[in-house]
Amino acid sequence: MSSQDIPEEKHLPSEQGDAHHGGVAVADDPFADPGLPVHKPRIQDIDERAAKRSERTVAMLFTLSMLATIGFIVSYVTLPVDKIVFIFPIGKVSALNFALGLTLGTALFCIGAGAVHWARTLMSDVEVADDRHEIAAPAEVKAKVLQDFADGANESGIARRPLIRNTLIGAMAMVPLAGVMLLRDLGPLPEVKLRKTVWAKGKLLINDNTNEPLRPEDVLVGSLTFARPEGLEEEQHDFQTQIAKAALMIVRIKPEDIKDKQELEWSHEGIVAYSKICTHVGCPISLYEQQTHHVLCPCHQSTFDLSDGARVIFGPAGHALPQLRIGVNDEGFLEAHGDFEEPVGPAFWERG
Amino acid sequence: MSTATNSSAAGAPGNTARKAPAGERVADWADGRLGIYSLAKSNMRKIFPDHWSFMLGEICLYSFIIIILTGVYLTLFFHPSMNEVVYHGSYVPMQGVQMSEAFASTLDISFDVRGGLLIRQIHHWAALIFVAAMLVHMMRVFFTGAFRKPREVNWVFGFLLLVLGMFTGFTGYSLPDDLLSGTGVRFMEGAILSVPVVGTYLSFFLFGGEFPGGDFVARFYSIHILLLPGIMMGLLVAHLILVFYHKHTQFAGPGKTNNNVVGMPLLPVYMAKAGGFFFLVFGVIAAIAALASINPIWALGPYRPDHVSTGAQPDWYMGFSEGLIRAMPGWEINLWGHTLVLGVFIPLVIFPLVLATIAVYPFIEAWVTKDNSEHHILDRPRNVPTRTAFGVAWLTWYVILLIAGGNDMFAQYFHLSINSITWFARIGFFVGPVIAFVITKRICLGLQRRDHDKVLHGRETGIIKRLPHGEFVEVHEPLPQGKLHTLTSHTQYAPIEVGPTVDENGVERKVKAGEKLRAKLSKGFYGENTHIPKPTAEEYKEIQSGHGHH
């Protein structure tokens, strides 16, 4: 920063017609508060024609708002609710939503714009100062309040009669327990509900897309198949709760590529069935990488290796996906050999 | 009425008894019962200072009102029920699909109620803007030190409004029971399950049994439309009463002191400006709702716990919690037949801690500074480098978590590896705020130096002048006194010292650990390298007299 100051220059803007600054101020405290600046009039304050112009602008905005409201009513009455129109550059939109939104927006915005323009151009813009007062009360008020409190407390006798005080505290402490008790029936106790699914020995694996029982030949290498247990139908009242635990994903891996011994044992000709519910916080896993046999949860990117016991190889999940032991029944359909041996879905305290 | 009768009865003949105008008579009636004249005396011409950043709080207030208005409309059509129905409405792709009544009625609002989609979109857009405006409003209050005495309590009220606003938003967007919101609720259930000892019970009590059960929409509905907004309404009224009671803060400037408030009166200027601003905010949000679709629940369909879409994202204000859970490694400890799900539980604990840091900051600063005086003049952020740096560090933290929360989106749009983004977030969570702190502090000091030079040497005018001996110099114009005052009126604190630990008789004084910590923090806040000393009047006079600079 240069220090080439030429304060004696007379043609500087600050020196022109403003002798107040400079020498005078330097004499005592140059940083002293000069007080509120003098009000500078706006064009509307001195020119009646400009004020009239502002008045007309404000009135025009308010009138525009009225017209927009009429436009809103007309749109509401005339446009069919299912009409789709192409609006550049947004694309295809509901004509009614578009018209109602823009007319309502205009009606509201113009009221606002008119009011603000009115305030800025026609109402007084003279800045005034108002005094503040300390928030804390003066000493005598405080003394009076403390005395009043002492008098009141004294008259109640709460200090002299500890029996009343203590029983009151006890009663007040206990009565909320009634409210807490009432929350008990918000839900049943967990018991073993999170440990069990509707899978059981002999249940067929139903393809979630075709609703047909799966045969081993339906499951091709490189494809990801979603399945649910036989007998679980969408119409059932607890379908959502049951499918939240029972959802299954099935892939076929060449048996020689399966690294985990138990996984191989629980599979059928390289067909492995794993819980679809992520062990992190329960999202359904839906992304499958054919080459590596990795599956990825789209919610938080936990990645599991299906060729190695579905162990976690990346992301925030804490443990492997549970595997369902499967085989083929006499008719050649894939079936479960039992329920999952460990709880599916997110971990919880009692999981162990 | 009675006033007019009384005055005419009392009026002497010839004295034309004035019949008060209707408005005055209504006001008299109300005053006789509510005391409105006394209330209006102190408030009708109340002075409010003008600054663009003071409008941020107004945006919060107005979007809240818009949310209430549109929300009431939506309750007239929404069915908060998880009963399964088969859809037969006018949206063809969903006809015959089994879904909850909540989802079906949301489709009806969107496709069969005229203007229903508009109101739904205004409601949702206003909610996003509400939370965003609260965060930005809090940043304004934070960086200008407006939270200092006497406004700490109001800061806490505002903080609670932010947190409640986030949860009201979460419970709200969970109501339609669509595929995206159901995924968010599942995330919440998984997080609750991770709580040691009681997590499973909490989850069963919240959902009325196993997830998803048939209860949560109805329960969230009562929380979303009654419980949380009810509390927020109370806090909001308290917040505004305190704003009126404390009177608004103002920036330093000529004529502005700690004992006055300079601006324009509520009636008429701020009635028109603030009232008009409500319509501006409402109008803009309505236009956004007309032009930009938000949460098109029909695109993904109803929730099924075994279905999911890619790119699932919460609304932006929940994004940082999403980031916490995505960045956290999947730690799990199994001991004595129990599971400690640290990979989920630690983020669940950090989530409120991240927020609580900003809630308690005013109290920490007050304790460190031992400053017990009222502050009505706002700080310029550069003049309080440590606070400003702390605020920017917090924001950096927040933004890194937001990035982590959208790691799949960033990976997709910028063709990056999702693993490297996650690792960036894991390291950035610890390192980012520190770097931001150091850089911000240096920038603040740089700006202070510039102010220092501007005060002493004036403004660079850009006018180049050739001196008689051929030298070229740039003309510096001295600042007007008002500007000099503005740039030098801030207080520069000296750090608190513990003081001598041994008195004059050689007796050792015990210094409490708290005192020592305070002295340390105070040194960090106000010690060396935390500010550029303000120019003094002597320095200024010496330079201005023309001899000081050669």
Distance CA B549, CA A2 (A): 10
Mutate to test the interface with A, among B47, B65, B193, B310 (most CBs of A within 10 A): B193
* DSSP assignments along A273-311, one per residue: EEESB-TTT-PBP-EEETTTTEEE-TTT--EEETTTTTE
Chain A residues within an 8 Å CB radius of B304 = 240, 243
Asked if residue A272 belongs to a domain, the reply is yes
Which residue in the set A106, A126, A317 is minimally distant from B330, CB to CB? A317
Is A349 within a domain?
no
What the block records as the tokens of B29 is: 């009636």
Distance separating alpha carbons of residues B523 and B530, to the nearest angstrom: 9
Q: How far apart are CA A308 and CA B260, in angstroms?
A: 73
Q: Is residue B73 part of a domain?
A: yes
B474 and B358 both lie in a single domain: no
Q: Which residue of B251, B306, B335 to mutate against A (max A Cβ within 10 Å)?
A: B306
Last residue of a domain, one of B336, B369, B402: B369
Same domain, A104 and A237: no
Amino acid at A284: P
In the sheet that A271-275 helps form, which strands lie side by side, from edge to edge?
Answer: A205-207, A225-229, A248-252, A271-275, A323-324
Final residue of a structural domain among A121, A140, A162: A121
Measured CA to CA, the distance from residue B294 to residue A171 in angstroms comes to: 51
Q: Same domain, yes or no, for B206 and B135? A: yes
- What is the radius of gyration, based on Cα positions, of chain A? 39
B55 in any annotated domain: no
Could you tell me if B119 and B39 lie in one domain? Answer: no
Residue B246 belongs to a domain: yes
Residues of chain B with C-beta less than 8 angstroms from the C-beta of A250: none
Distance CA B118, CA B122 (A): 6
Report helix, strand or coil for A190. Answer: coil
Instruction: Say which CATH number the domain at A296 has.
Output: 2.102.10.10
Neighbouring C-beta atoms of residue B388, cutoff 10 Å: 24
Q: Nearest Cβ partner of B114 from A81, A127, A312?
A: A81
pTM: 0.90
B334 phi, psi to nearest 5 deg: -110, 115
Enter the ipTM: 0.89
Instruction: Give domain status of residue B312, yes or no.
Output: yes
In a domain, A158, yes or no: no
Q: Which residues of B touch A37 (CB under 8 A)?
A: 254-255, 482
CA distance B169 to chain A (A): 20
Return the number of other C-beta atoms located less than 10 Å from residue A74's C-beta. Answer: 12
- Tell me whether residues B286 and A94 touch, CB distance under 8 A: no
Please tell me the distance in Å from B411's CA to the nearest CA on chain A: 11
Is A47 domain-assigned?
yes
Domain membership flag for residue B457 = yes
**Are the beta carbons of A312 and A320 closer than 8 angstroms?**
yes
How many domains are contained in chain A? 2
B135 lies in a domain? yes
Interface contact flag, A115 B276, Cβ < 8 Å: yes
What would the pLDDT profile of A121-166 be if each residue is shown by its tens digit?
A: 999 999 999 999 889 999 999 999 999 999 999 999 988 999 999 9
**Among A101, A109, A276, beta carbon nearest to B279:** A109
Judgement on whether residues B317 and B188 belong to the same structural domain of the protein? yes
Q: Is residue B54 part of a domain?
A: no
Using DSSP's 3-state secondary structure scheme, residue B18 falls into: coil
Q: Which single residue is written with the structure tokens 């017209």? A: A67
What chain B residue is nearest to A314 in terms of C-alpha separation? Answer: B419
B339 in Cβ contact with A351 (< 8 Å): yes
User: Do B68 and B180 fall within a single domain?
Assistant: yes
Is B282's CB within 8 Å of A243's CB? no
Rounded Cα distance, B200 and B134, in Å: 34
HSE, side-chain direction, 13 A CA sphere, residue A98: 16
Domain contains A161: no
**B120 and B171: one domain?**
yes
A-chain residues near B310 (CB < 8 A)? 286-287, 298
- What is the extent of the structural domain holding A265? 195-336
Regarding whether A327 and A201 lie in a shared domain, the answer is yes
Domain boundary among A121, A145, A168: A121
Distance separating alpha carbons of residues A27 and A10, to the nearest angstrom? 19
The answer to whether position A142 is within a domain reads no
Report the number of distinct structural domains present in chain B.
3
B527 and B478 within one domain: yes
- Read off the pLDDT of residues B135-177 as tens digits, 9 standing for 90 and up: 999 999 999 999 999 999 999 999 999 999 999 999 999 999 9
Q: Is the N-terminal amide bond of A80 cis, ω within 30° of 0?
A: no
CA dihedral B118, B120, B122, B127 (to 10 degrees): -170
Quick one: closest CA in B to A296, which residue? B310
Question: Does the distance separating the beta carbons of B473 and A190 come in below 8 Å?
Answer: no
CB contact under 8 A, A349 and B257: no
Chain A neighbours among B 225-284 (CB < 8 Å)? 245-247, 254-265, 268-270, 272-273, 275-284
State the residue for tokens 């107040």. A20
| Angle made by CA atoms B454, A21, B459, in degrees to the nearest 5 | 20
Single residue among B339, B369, B399 that ends a domain in this structure: B369
**B286 and B158 belong to one structural domain:** yes
Q: Enumerate residue ranges in chain A where pLDDT < 70.
A: 1-27
Please indicate if any CB of chain B lies within 8 Å of the CB of A338. Answer: no
A330: in domain: yes
User: How do B377-378 and B250-251 pair as beta strands?
Assistant: parallel
Q: Which residue has the tokens 């304004």?
A: B140
> How far does Cα B493 stand from its chain's mean position?
28
Residue B163's CATH number: 1.20.810.10
Contact (CB, 8 A) for B416 and B503? no
Cα of B323 to nearest chain A Cα, Å? 9
pLDDT, residue A233, reads 85
Residue among B199, B278, B480 whose CB faces A14 most closely: B480
Among A95, A121, A147, the domain boundary falls at A121
- Taking the C-alpha atoms of residue B398 and residue B324, their distance in angstroms, rounded to an integer, is 10
| Other beta carbons less than 10 A from residue B428's beta carbon | 20
Give the 3-state secondary structure of B244-281: HHHCCCEECECCECCCEEEEEEHHHHHHHHHHHHHHHH
Give just the sign of the alpha carbon dihedral B542, B543, B546, B547: positive
- Please tell me the predicted confidence (pLDDT) of residue B168: 96
User: What is the amino acid identity at position B301?
Assistant: G
On whether residue A97 sits in a domain, the answer given is yes
Instruction: Tell me the residue range of the domain where B170 lies.
Output: 60-81+91-251+267-369
Residues B384 and B445 grouped into a single domain: yes
Amino acid A259: pLDDT: 87
Is B120 found in the same domain as B26?
A: no
Across the strands, what pairs with A335?
A: A204, A327
pLDDT at B307: 87
- Helices B116-143 and B342-369: crossing angle in degrees, nearest 10, is 50
User: What parts of chain B have a pLDDT lower than 70?
Assistant: 1-17, 546-550
Nearest CA in chain B to A76: B114
Q: How far apart are CA A133 and CA B273, in angstroms?
A: 26
CB A317 within 8 A of CB A295: no
Q: Of A237, A287, A350, which is closest to B338 when you measure between CB atoms?
A: A350
Which two tokens mark B218? 């109805």
Asked whether residue B258 is domain-assigned, the answer is: no
Nearest to A115 among B265, B272, B284 (CB): B272
Does B384 lie in the same domain as B357? no
